Structure 1
Amino acid sequence: MPQESSHRVVVIVEENSNPFELGCATEVFGLHRPEIGGHLYDYRLCSPQPHTPMRDGFFMLTGVAGLHVADTADTLIIPSRTDLDTPRDPAVLDALRRAHTRGTRLVSFCTGAFTLAEAGVLDGRRATTHWQWADTFRARFPAVHLEQDVLYVDDGDILTSAGSAAALDLGLHVVRRDHGAEIANSVSRRLVFAAHRDGGQRQFVERPVPDLPDESLAPLIAWAQQRLDTTLTVAELAARAAVSPATLHRRFQTQLGTTPLAWLTAERITLARRLIELGENRLDVVARRTGLGTTANLRALMRRETGLTPSAYRRRFGPQPTPAPAE
């Protein structure tokens, strides 16, 4: 069990910050977790102004510390904002530059990458942001190497995530990095959230394997998720990641707490569930599109993973028939 952490995580809350991502940061980094020995981090909020209107003016955030607390952070987080054409607060940009200079780990959620880029700390670095704003980001910050085909990018001391819900994916990745897979899996179970979700809306862009393979599994996961209807093997995954099967196995165990084959099966079942939820009634089609092969294999694995047969799952979670209008 971890001891109470002295690693300080600070979130800068600006006008029009997204409350969902603030909640994600608080849930992952800020809560007391008695099941794993207490707080994982010393968590603080700060703002450049004493009264901060949140996104669309839904509510006002008050009672948090001033921006000076950002200077005490070991990890500094920037949530997203919707007003991308509004210049960022110069005091916030200065705080980010100071943090970067002293070696603080910087994290952005969604369009928070725009704030990091405006501060100049992303020049020459890898980053991602919400797929909807990828073209805008590239046009505005051509010196940043934008990757829009992944949920998040871990570039060492700077980490960026894609759309809002990917804040949870990146947050759990940070916990894995800091505390190991067992603790991260405990947090994900408390969240009732998978260690890696199946993606959602993203721009899928092919890109070559880098000469120095990324230690993060995110690029490989994004690549494999596009090919679940094929007969992927662990050897093929290892070849894509430019590592040996044994090395890939170690990375999956370290970062996800599972094996490559178990992860691949779970992803196929997740896709099968989505297809059934969207109304696909032909089990042979579901089996083929998920790479599970046969309806018998689909039935067996769905029962094992969900406790329900495909038919029972469809009755519970599939589209409900529209009632006939009363005459």
Structure 2
Amino acid sequence: MHSAELAERYPTAIVDRNVLFVDDGDLVTSAGTAAGIDASLHLVRRELGSTVTNKIARRMVVPPQRDGGQRQYIEQPIPTRCSEGFAPQLDWILSNLDKPHTVASMARRANMSARTFARRFVDEAGTTPMQWVTDQRVLYARRMLEETDLDVDRIAERAGFGTATLLRHHFRRIVGVTPSDYRRRFARSA
């Protein structure tokens, strides 16, 4: 709300009006009170990783990361609207991201027709089954970029993309930066 005034008062400061918070290494600033929570969770992620951050966010009943123009920080946990009966299907997919998945194969595992599965998945998860799988693969790749030294080819294989080219395509589309740029910024060793 006050970004124009801030930029005017402090002309030497770089003011980014399109983000919830800015991480400049030793200095982290947020856009407001709720964005302070986002910045805090970002610091936890930076220092302790995504797993700890997700646990804290669930306990706080907030998303691990909100989209505020900072697509590289978006976290996509298991949808909270999923029914108890449907959750095992999502858990199985998450445990087997490296395997090929189609709507038909997921529907067979759920003992549903492909059409019913797809409709019910959208109702419960808020997105199509294949987009959800792709999002989860990118999220897994993001964690590996943060927490391992594996090369992009190996990460692509483990995340279920098969090739680094396909991983780069989806990663850039969803996260907004290349995997190597993301790793430079968010790897633990950084």
State TM-score, norm by structure 1.
0.35
Q: CA deviation at 1:302?
A: 0.6
Q: CA deviation at 1:166?
A: 4.8
> Quick one: structure 1 residues 216 and 167, their matched pair in 2 at CA, closer, same or farther if it must change by over 3 Å?
farther
Counterpart-to-counterpart distance in 2, 1:317 and 1:221: 27
Partner SS state of residue 89, structure 2: helix
Partner SS state of residue 177, structure 2: coil
Counterpart-to-counterpart distance in 1, 2:127 and 2:59: 21
1:14 equivalent in structure 2: none
More strand by share: 1
Counterpart-to-counterpart distance in 2, 1:301 and 1:282: 17
Counterpart-to-counterpart distance in 1, 2:78 and 2:164: 26
Alpha-carbon contact 1:283-1:295 (below 8 Å) kept:
yes
Counterpart-to-counterpart distance in 1, 2:59 and 2:106: 25
> Quick one: structure 1 residues 305 and 240, their matched pair in 2 at CA, closer, same or farther if it must change by over 3 Å?
same
Partner SS state of residue 265, structure 1: helix
Counterpart-to-counterpart distance in 2, 1:216 and 1:285: 33
Alignment of 1:254-273 (within 5 A): 254-273=123-142
1:315 equivalent in structure 2: 184
Give the total of aligned pairs.
126
1:222 equivalent in structure 2: 91
Alpha-carbon contact 1:272-1:287 (below 8 Å) kept:
yes
Of all paired residues, the percent bearing the same amino acid is 38
Q: CA deviation at 1:252?
A: 1.5
Q: CA deviation at 1:281?
A: 3.6
> Quick one: structure 1 residues 195 and 257, their matched pair in 2 at CA, closer, same or farther if it must change by over 3 Å?
farther
Q: Which has the higher contact order (CA 8 A, sep 6+)?
A: 2
Alpha-carbon contact 2:103-2:114 (below 8 Å) kept:
yes
Counterpart-to-counterpart distance in 2, 1:229 and 1:164: 27
Partner SS state of residue 242, structure 1: coil
> Quick one: structure 1 residues 166 and 219, their matched pair in 2 at CA, closer, same or farther if it must change by over 3 Å?
farther
State TM-score, norm by structure 2.
0.58
Q: CA deviation at 1:165?
A: 5.2
Deviations 1:231-252 (A, max 9, x none): 1222111011110111111112
Q: CA deviation at 1:319?
A: 2.5
2:111 equivalent in structure 1: 242
Alpha-carbon contact 2:103-2:129 (below 8 Å) kept:
yes
1:196 equivalent in structure 2: 78
Deviations 1:163-207 (A, max 9, x none): 775567xx79xxxxxxxxxxxx9xx769x763627xxxxxxxxxx
Alignment of 1:134-283 (within 5 A): 166=58, 194=76, 196=78, 216-283=85-152
Q: CA deviation at 1:320?
A: 2.4
Q: CA deviation at 1:215?
A: 6.8
Alpha-carbon contact 1:280-1:286 (below 8 Å) kept:
no
Greater gyration radius: 1
Q: CA deviation at 1:216?
A: 3.9
Gaps of 5+ in 2: 1-54, 69-73
> Quick one: structure 1 residues 313 and 254, their matched pair in 2 at CA, closer, same or farther if it must change by over 3 Å?
same
> Quick one: structure 1 residues 218 and 167, their matched pair in 2 at CA, closer, same or farther if it must change by over 3 Å?
farther
1:304 equivalent in structure 2: 173
Alignment of 1:54-203 (within 5 A): 166=58, 194=76, 196=78
More helix by share: 2
Counterpart-to-counterpart distance in 2, 1:254 and 1:281: 36
Deviations 1:138-161 (A, max 9, x none): xxxxxxxxxxxxxxxxxxxxxxxx
Q: CA deviation at 1:283?
A: 0.9
